[in-house]
Amino acid sequence: MADTYTPPKVWEWDSESGGKFASINRPIAGATHDKDLPVGKHPLQLYSLATPNGVKVTVLLEELLAAGHTGAEYDAWIIDISEGDQFGSGFVEVNPNSKIPALMDRSGDTPQRVFESGAIMLYLADKFEAFMPSDPAQRTEALSWLFWQMGSAPYLGGGFGHFYAYAPEKFEYPINRFAMEAKRQLDVMERHLADNEWFAGDYSIADMAIWAWYGQLVLGRLYSAAEFLDVASYKNVMRWAEAIDARAPVQRGRMVNRAFGDDLSMQLHERHDASDFDTKTQDKLHVKT
Ligand SMILES: N[C@@H](CCC(=O)N[C@@H](CS)C(=O)NCC(=O)O)C(=O)O
């Protein structure tokens, strides 16, 4: 194989390196500009975007509300990562890592910040004692799968998705490397779901977290890669993904903070009330196009 790049002694940032998202990627943390975050009327303030990591949290919040946990009412504000909103000072105070999703819980005496989608899901599941098995062995199993997802998805998104869909050129080596890993991960899921309806006991945050990435992948919504990865061959993963996709709270959760895609009826840029899902209100909430 031809050697196309000889690394220099010390790496230097080439801000013109190309590829989708190249303009927002940088090797420095911290805020680039002053900008306060808006605060709405509910105790839970979510700052997010409907990427798979964002969808995990909005699906959980909609599931909690549908299950009768009225304390889970939330304002969802859009963070446009392509415009650099994640580098505003207010957002960096909630998530020093400058990535969506980020949550502020203002229900107590002191506002509590939570960042990292897995931590947010666990925080909400514990707060409302829902969508997490109470049996200690099953809870441990659910945590194992939740952390499996958190550790695995960067190979799917940052590895496979980046080189297959976003990189400025198609390079065989990384596409092969990460397609193999993505398919291995799907096979891990396939084998587990062959003997289990859900990942740990009943439907839980583990299912929601894994679905947002791998469920949406096999449903053909990520990276236009369903055929390339032959997702139809993972029959149990398909069965599980379709069952979750059919849930009304999941459909609502997918819409929140979505400001991309061709289907405008699936976009609810901000969510402040259950009635925002009504078409009329929704039109008003199409704040950006
Ligand atoms: N491990 C983090 C990953 C979050 C993440 O990667 N968020 C992406 C969108 S899916 C983001 O905000 N990217 C903006 C950036 O990289 O500047 C989590 O699960 O919350």
Q: Is the CB of 149 under 6 A from ligand 1?
A: no
Q: Could you give the CA distance from residue 245 to residue 4 in angstroms, rounded to a whole number?
A: 43
Nearest CA owner, ligand 1 atom 13: 99
Share of the chain above pLDDT 90, in %: 87
Nearest CA owner, ligand 1 atom 15: 99
pLDDT digits (tens, 9 = 90+) for 56-111: 999 999 999 999 999 999 999 999 999 999 999 999 999 999 999 999 999 999 99
Q: Is the CB of 24 under 6 A from ligand 1?
A: yes
Instruction: For residue 75, give the H/E element and its range.
Output: strand 74-78
Contact indicator for 19, 167 with CB cutoff of 8 Å: yes
Max distance between CA atoms of the chain, in angstroms, equals: 61
Tell me, what's the pLDDT at 25?
Answer: 84
Tell me, what's the pLDDT at 250?
Answer: 98
Q: Is the CB of 95 under 6 A from ligand 1?
A: no
pTM value is 0.94
Residue found by looking up tokens 């230097």 in the block? 12
Residue 92 CB contacts under 8 Å (≥ 6 apart), including other chains: 30, 31, 86, 98
Residue to probe by mutation, ligand 1, list 55, 99, 121, 150, most atoms within 8 Å of CB: 99
C-alpha to C-alpha distances, 34 to 27, 74, 228, nearest whole angstrom: 19, 25, 43
Contact indicator for 113, 101 with CB cutoff of 8 Å: no
Question: Relative to the CA of 81, which ligand 1 atom is closest?
Answer: 14
pLDDT digits (tens, 9 = 90+) for 111-120: 999 999 999 9
C-alpha to C-alpha distances, 117 to 62, 122, 123, 149, nearest whole angstrom: 15, 9, 10, 11
Q: Which CATH number fits domain 136-248: 3.10.580.10, 1.20.1050.10, 3.40.50.300, 1.20.1250.20?
A: 1.20.1050.10
Compute CA 60 distance to the chain's CA centroid, rounded to the nearest angstrom.
11
Residue to probe by mutation, ligand 1, list 78, 100, 147, 208, most atoms within 8 Å of CB: 100
In one-letter notation, the amino acid at residue 105 is D
**225: CA distance to ligand 1 center in Å?**
21
pLDDT digits (tens, 9 = 90+) for 137-188: 999 999 999 999 999 999 999 999 999 999 999 999 999 999 999 999 999 9
Provide mean pLDDT across the span 213-228.
97
Long-range CB pairs of 129-138, under 8 A, 24+ apart, other chains included: 130/63, 130/64, 130/67, 130/69, 131/60, 131/63, 131/64, 131/67, 131/203, 131/204, 131/205, 131/208, 132/204, 132/205, 133/200, 133/201, 133/202, 133/204, 135/201, 138/200, 138/201
Q: On the CB side of 259, how many CA atoms lie within 13 Å of its CA?
A: 19
**81: CA distance to ligand 1 center in Å?**
9
Give the pairing type, strands 44-48 and 74-78. Answer: parallel
C-alpha to C-alpha distances, 112 to 40, 75, 102, 132, 150, nearest whole angstrom: 15, 15, 11, 21, 22
**49: CA distance to ligand 1 center in Å?**
10
